[in-house]
Structure 1
Amino acid sequence: MTGYARASGAVPGAHFACELRSVNGRGLDIRTRLPPGFDALEAELRRLLATHLSRGSITFTLTVERDTNGGEVFLNRQALATVLDALRDLAGKVDAERPRLDGILALRGVLEQREAPLAPDAEATLSAAILQATADAIDSLQAARREEGGRIAATLLMRVEEIAALVARAETHPARSRHSIAARLRQQLALLGEDAAAIGEDRLAQEALLLATKADIREELDRLTAHIASARSLLESGGPVGRKLDFLAQEFNREANTICSKSNAVELTAIGLDLKAAIDQLREQVQNIE
C-alpha cells in the first residue's frame, strides 16, 4: 500500500501541485494539508480519495501559488508599532547603532504582500483544476500500488502453497490412525509394566477409539483446505483483497491452534507449529496490500 504520486497544473493567475503519499494501514486513514482559503474544497477531496482508495494511511498535500502581478503591499501598522516600542525600550540599554528604516521594514510581518484575488469564475476554475489533478495523482498512485501488489502477490502465493503442503502432511500423517494410537497405548502399557493381553483387545480398541475421537482433526483440516482455496481465488481475482485475506489469515491461525491443542503425537505438533509460522508470515505480508 506504499506509494507516492504528484500532479501539478495552472490556471490564469495561479499554479498548484497535488502530492499523495501512501503507507500501510489496516483501514483507510486520510490526512489533508491545504493552504488557507481552501477549506471548502476538503470535503470534495476526501470524497474523491475515499472513492478510489480503500486501505492505507493517505496524506494529501496541496500547494498553491498565486501570481503576484496586480497584488499590493500592505503596511502592518500594529506590527510596526510593536517594533518601534521595542526599539525605544532598548534605547540606552544596548550599545548599538539605531536601525535604518529599510531594516525595520524588512522585518517579517511589518510589510505584507497580498496576492491579487481571483475573480469568482477563476476561483471555480482553479478548484476544478485541483480536483482533476488530484484524480490524476490518484491514478498514478494506484498504478504504483498495483505494481507493488503484483510483487507481494507472488510472495503471498508461496506462503499459501507452503500452508497447503503442511496441511497435506498432516492429512496423511500415520499418527492420526486408530491403529497407530492403539500401538502407542501398548507401548505405554509395556513401559508401565502392564500386560496388554490381560487388559483385553476390546478394551484397548475402545480406549484407542476414544483417544482418536478426541484427537481427530478432520474438521480442522477440511476448513484449512477450504481457506486455502479461498486464498488462491482471492489472489487470482485481483482488486482490493487485503481485508479479506487478513480475515482468512485469522481463520488459518485459529485452525492451526486447534490442531496443536488436539495433537496426539510430537510430529503432528511440529506440523502445527510450522503451520503457525507460515501463517504469521502470510499475515505480515497481507498488511502490505490494499
Structure 2
Amino acid sequence: MTGYGRAERKEEDVSFAVEMRSVNHRFSEVAVRMPREFSAFEDAVRKKVLSYIRRGRVDVFLTVETEAPPSSLKINWELARQYKEAAEKMAELLGVPPQMPVYELLSMPDVARAGEDRPDLESYRAPLLAVVEEAISMLVAMRKKEGQALREDVLGRIEEMKRLVEELALFAPKVAESYRERIFARIQEYIQDRCDIDESRLLHEVAVFTERADISEEITRLRSHFAQFGQIVDEPEAIGRKLDFLVQECHREINTIGAKANHLEISQKVVILKAELEKVKEQVQNIE
C-alpha cells in the first residue's frame, strides 16, 4: 500500500528530518538514505521500519543539520618541551644566547593543533530513532486508510462473485441433464439401424460423461473460499499472502468449471467471474 510520513526533531546541537514513502511491492523492502557519518544507524532505522511494515517498498530519507562544534587548541606539551630543550642544548654547544620566544614554539611542527570537540555519535541514536518512529506513525495511518478502502473494494467484488456462483449453481443440474440428452440423441441416431449395441454399456458411458460435466464440487469449494476471504480480511496480522493463495485457488476452480461445463450461459458467467477475480488479484497485491 502507498503512504507518506514526515517528522522533524531538534536537539541542542542537531536537527533531524525524516521523510518516508511507501509503494506497493510483493515483499518487504526498505531503502535508507542518510548522511555518511550517520550510516552506523542505518540498520537500526531499517529494523524500526520493518517492525511496522510487513509488505511493500519503503524509501526513507534522513537529513541531519548539526551546529558547528566548538573549536579548541590542542598543545603537545611533551613535544614543546623537547623543542625547548633542543634549542637550549644547541645554544650551549654553539656558544650563542638562547633566543626562542613562546610564539616560535607554537609554530613548530605538531606542537599546536586546532581541533573540533565532536560529540559521541551514539548520543544521537535515541532522538534519531524517535523521529523515525514519528514518521512511521504518519505513514502507517495513511496506509490504514487506504487499506480500509481496499477492504471494501475486495469484499464488494467477492459479493458479486458469490452472486454469480449461486447463479451457476442453478444451472449445474441443467448442464448434466442437457449433456445426458445430447448423448442419448447422438446414440439413438447412431444405433437406429443396428441391434448389436450393449445398452447397459451405453448407459454406463453416459453416466461417466455426465459425472465429468458436474460442477457442484467446484461450486462448493468456491463458496468455502469466499467465506474464508471474509474471515481473513479482519485478521489483525499480515494477510496478503493468505489472500494470494485464496485467489489462486479460486482461479483454479473457475477454470475447471469453464472446462467442464459445455454450456453457453455458464461460459459467459465464467468470463465475468475471471474478470472480477483478476481485479481482486490486483488489489490483493497491495494488501500487507
For 1:269, give the aligned amino acid.
S
Question: Do the aligned partners of residues 269 and 284 (structure 1) sit closer, same or farther apart at CA in structure 2, a change above 3 Å counting?
Answer: same
Task: Work out which of the residue numbers 248, 251, 254 in structure 2 matches 1:253.
Answer: 251
Question: Do the aligned partners of residues 10 and 203 (structure 1) sit closer, same or farther apart at CA in structure 2, a change above 3 Å counting?
Answer: same
Does 2:63 match 1:63? yes
What's the CA shift for 1:203?
A: 5.7
Asked if 2 retains the 8 angstrom alpha-carbon contact of 1:259 and 1:272, the reply is yes
For 2:268, give the aligned amino acid.
A
What's the CA shift for 1:140?
A: 1.1
Cα deviation digits, residues 216-267 of structure 1 (max 9, x gap): 2233222211111110111233543222111211111111111112223222
**Identity across aligned pairs (percent)?**
34
Counterpart of 2:36 in structure 1 is 36
How far apart, in 2, do the equivalents of 1:117 and 1:160 lie? 64
Counterpart of 2:53 in structure 1 is 53
Counterpart of 2:281 in structure 1 is 283
How far apart, in 1, do the equivalents of 2:282 and 2:215 lie? 26
How far apart, in 1, do the equivalents of 2:193 and 2:151 lie? 54
User: What is the 5 A alignment of 1:220-259?
Assistant: 220-259=218-257
Counterpart of 1:269 in structure 2 is 267
Counterpart of 1:156 in structure 2 is 154
What's the CA shift for 1:174?
A: 4.6
For 1:22, give the aligned amino acid.
S
Task: Work out which of the residue numbers 133, 143, 146 in structure 2 matches 1:145.
Answer: 143
Counterpart of 2:168 in structure 1 is 170
How far apart, in 2, do the equivalents of 1:70 and 1:277 lie? 67
What's the CA shift for 1:178?
A: 3.9
| RMSD (Å) for aligned C-alpha atoms | 2.6
How far apart, in 1, do the equivalents of 2:173 and 2:186 lie? 15
For 1:59, give the aligned amino acid.
D
Question: Do the aligned partners of residues 14 and 206 (structure 1) sit closer, same or farther apart at CA in structure 2, a change above 3 Å counting?
Answer: same
What's the CA shift for 1:176?
A: 4.9
TM-score by length of 2: 0.76
How far apart, in 2, do the equivalents of 1:134 and 1:116 lie? 28
What's the CA shift for 1:145?
A: 0.3
Counterpart of 1:129 in structure 2 is 127
Asked if 1 retains the 8 angstrom alpha-carbon contact of 2:175 and 2:262, the reply is no
SS at 1:237's partner residue?
coil
SS at 2:234's partner residue?
helix
Cα deviation digits, residues 43-67 of structure 1 (max 9, x gap): 1111111111100011011100111
Cα deviation digits, residues 11-70 of structure 1 (max 9, x gap): 111101011100000010110101011111011111111111100011011100111363
Consecutive unaligned residues in structure 2, runs of 5 or more: 73-114
Asked if 2 retains the 8 angstrom alpha-carbon contact of 1:11 and 1:125, the reply is no
Question: Do the aligned partners of residues 164 and 15 (structure 1) sit closer, same or farther apart at CA in structure 2, a change above 3 Å counting?
Answer: same
Consecutive unaligned residues in structure 1, runs of 5 or more: 73-114
How far apart, in 2, do the equivalents of 1:262 and 1:117 lie? 80
Cα deviation digits, residues 137-169 of structure 1 (max 9, x gap): 111111100001111111100111122112212
Structure with bigger gyration radius: 2
Asked if 2 retains the 8 angstrom alpha-carbon contact of 1:152 and 1:285, the reply is yes
For 1:158, give the aligned amino acid.
G
Does 2:206 match 1:208? yes
Counterpart of 2:87 in structure 1 is none
Question: Do the aligned partners of residues 226 and 164 (structure 1) sit closer, same or farther apart at CA in structure 2, a change above 3 Å counting?
Answer: same
Question: Do the aligned partners of residues 117 and 144 (structure 1) sit closer, same or farther apart at CA in structure 2, a change above 3 Å counting?
Answer: farther
How far apart, in 2, do the equivalents of 1:116 and 1:6 lie? 32
TM-score by length of 1: 0.76
Asked if 1 retains the 8 angstrom alpha-carbon contact of 2:3 and 2:21, the reply is yes
- How many residues align? The count is 245
Asked if 2 retains the 8 angstrom alpha-carbon contact of 1:13 and 1:118, the reply is no
How far apart, in 2, do the equivalents of 1:201 and 1:164 lie? 41
Question: Do the aligned partners of residues 147 and 117 (structure 1) sit closer, same or farther apart at CA in structure 2, a change above 3 Å counting?
Answer: farther
